[in-house]
Amino acid sequence: MQEVIGKVALVTGASSGVGAAIVRLLVKHGMTVIGVARRLDRLENLSTELKNESGQFHYRQVDMTKEEDIQAAFKFIKDKFSVMHVLVNNAGVLRFDTSLKDGSTESWRHQLDVNVTGVAIASREAVRLMKATNTDGFIININSITGLHVAVPFGKYANIYPATKHAVTAMTEALRQELFNENVKIRVSSICPGVIATDMFAGAIGTPLEKEFATDAPMLLPEEVADTVLFLLTRPINVEVTQIIIKPRGEQA
C-alpha cells in the first residue's frame, strides 16, 4: 500500500460536495491539500474546520473557466511546495436551464469550459510540474456514469452534460496513452459515480428531475466517492486502475 502522508495534492471544486469530502479525507490522512473553488467563504470555513488535522489545507479562489486562475494556482504550488503529487479534477457543473433541442449556447459553453477545458488545462499544468520534478504523480478525474452511457431518467434532462463527461472519459485514456508512450511516471484514473447526494441537483428543483430523483432514491454520499480517491492513491506503485464505476446500491441506470 502506498503511503500518502506528506504528499501534495490539488483538488478542484473543493468548496462543497465531493470536493470538500475529498479534501477532508486527504488532510485527515496527513496530506497537504490545496483546494480551489469560486466560493471563497466556503473554502475559509473548510480551512477553519481542518486546522487541527494531521495534514495541511491551503486554498485559492479559482474560476475553472479562467485559464489565468488555474495557472495562478499551479504557480502557488510550485513557489510554496516545489512539488506536486496528486491532481483531483473534481470541479464540474450541470445546468438545468437548457436543452439540446432548443438550448442556450451560453449554458452549453459554460459546461464545456468547466467540465472539459478546465480539466484539460489543469491536467496539462499538473503534468508539466510533475515531469519537471520527476514525480511519481497521479491524476484522478471525477467523471460520471453519464461519461459511459446516457442514463435514463437522468439523461432526459442532462442536455450537454453527458457529452462533457464522455469527453472526460476520452481525455483520461488519451492522456494515459500519451504519458505511457513517453515513459512518464504519472498514473491517470477516472472515477465514474452514479447519482451523488450533492447540491449539484439544487438546479433541478422545480423541474421533472426533482420528482424522478426523490429523497428516497438511492444516492452515493460524497464521502464514498472520497474513499474511492484514497483507495486509488494507496494502490501499489505498479498498479494503475484506469477506471472505476461506483453506484449506490439499487440504482438501475
Domain ranges for the chain, please list them.
8-245
Annotated catalytic residue, options 57, 108, 157, 161: 161
Look at the pTM and tell me if it is higher than 0.85: yes
Average pLDDT, integer, range 148-160: 77
According to the model, what pLDDT value does residue 116 have? 98
Per-residue pLDDT at 155: 63
Domain 8-245 CATH assignment equals 3.40.50.720 = yes
75 pLDDT tier (thresholds 50, 70, 90): very high
pLDDT at 252: 72
Active site residue 157: no
- When the pLDDT of each residue in the chain is averaged and rounded to a whole number, the result is 92
Measured between alpha carbons, how far is 57 from 50 in angstroms, rounded to an integer?
Answer: 7
- H-run or E-run covering 59: strand 56-61
**pLDDT score recorded for residue 225:** 97
pLDDT tens digits, residue range 232-248? 999 999 999 999 999 99
Instruction: Please state, in angstroms and rounded to a whole number, the distance separating the CA atoms of residues 110 and 252.
Output: 29
Strand partners, 86: 9, 138
Element (H, E) at 178: helix 161-181
**C-beta separation of 172 from 143 below 8 A:** yes
Looking at residue 250, its pLDDT comes to 80
Q: How many CA atoms lie within 13 A of 191 on its CB side?
A: 26
